[in-house]
A and B are shown apart, each in its own frame.
Chain A
């Protein structure tokens, strides 16, 4: 066992040398390699979300897809957006969704089947939409990669200053130098109030109510129980007795 492991480890440089013969390591662009890795995981897990029948597995694939998209954001130079994607989307929204799955995952709802005709129709519509979008994506002319010295150091400072209403980042290339650039203080305030309202509204909508009328799930459960029918019969006979006594 140990000898086979050692032998395989010993042959690893040979494998790398053979790979290097096919593809010189010096010419490999590791940015592209990581991009392909994250893009493959994101797209495969997005398709797996569509194809999965079980809602718990759909949530798991969605977590993987969103986390890989955060990796794509890091590779595109948007470190703060990638970190927020991991913290808010993967850490917050998906946990919320998983709680929803757990609260509603009764046996008949874990896997709700879709008819094959609907699947076929959705596949055709999706293929047509994807064809249109890919055609538009390849119309965008390839942008060249600038020298690394031109790229600003990664920092969250420009985003924070822009959210405070002050722009310290470089103006976009091609924009006139004298253009007044607005900050994002007003949208920031609007979003903060919006989040507060949404928090209150969600807590109001999802609160545990004390109902006078029985829930539909209780009615469905009690309509088949023989004990309850016996109790109802006893109650009706008792009311008959009372009405008979009053007569």
Chain B
């Protein structure tokens, strides 16, 4: 890799060139899925707007979908390595459909809560507090 940098002072150039010229493995996809999942969990825990919590749920489901598709991908599979095959893609499809259904119901509940309480702040939803 040293002949590629040509004496450039940047230390990041070999790493960047290595990322650009080497093929993408399944670990790359898992890293992206982990970042999406973590962002979704933090978003769910942090947001006080009910719609923000919904967006966090979408991010979590999306991160799981990235992992399913990566494990089922024919382009990332090596010889002799077990993979999910088509099953992973179909599970990802079902996750997308169920996420759409979940978003519809959660949005209806949020609108109902907004009509009855005049707010979408989930910290104010304390009618069921014992």
Contact = CB atoms under 8 A, between A and B. Distances in A.
Contacts of B22: 29, 32
A145 B25 CA distance: 8
Contacts of B11: none
Contacts of B52: 55, 58
Nearest to B123: A112
- Which 9 A/B pairs are nearest by Cβ-Cβ distance? A137-B30, A133-B34, A205-B108, A217-B118, A174-B82, A144-B78, A206-B108, A172-B85, A46-B39
Contacts of A129: 37-38, 41
A143 B77 contact: yes
B103 A93 contact: yes
**How large, as a class, is the contact surface on chain A?**
35 or more
A143 to B, nearest CB: 4
A172 B107 contact: no
B46 A118 contact: yes
Contacts, number: 300
B109 interface: yes
A114 B118 contact: no
Interface of B: 4-6, 8, 13, 17, 19-43, 45-49, 51-52, 54-56, 58-59, 62, 65-66, 69-70, 72-87, 89-90, 92-94, 96-101, 103-105, 107-112, 114-121
Given A78-B73, A174-B80, A216-B118, A93 B35 contact: no
A22 B5 CA distance: 5
B86 A169 contact: yes
Given A29-B22, A129-B41, A100 B32 contact: no
Contacts of A36: 19-20
B59 A46 contact: yes
A122 B46 contact: yes
A212 interface: no
A204 B100 CA distance: 17
A65 B62 contact: yes
Contacts of A88: 96-97, 100
B88 to A, nearest CB: 8
B81 A174 contact: yes
A122 B69 contact: no
Contacts of A14: none
A7 interface: no
Nearest to B92: A81
A50 to B, nearest CB: 5
Contacts of B39: 43, 46-47, 49-50, 126
A247 interface: no
Contacts of B82: 172-175
A121 B71 CA distance: 33
5 contacts: A47-B35, A50-B42, A129-B41, A159-B89, A209-B115
B115 A215 contact: yes
Interface string A88-109: 1100110011011101100011
Nearest to B54: A97
B26 A140 contact: yes
A85 to B, nearest CB: 6
B65 A69 contact: yes
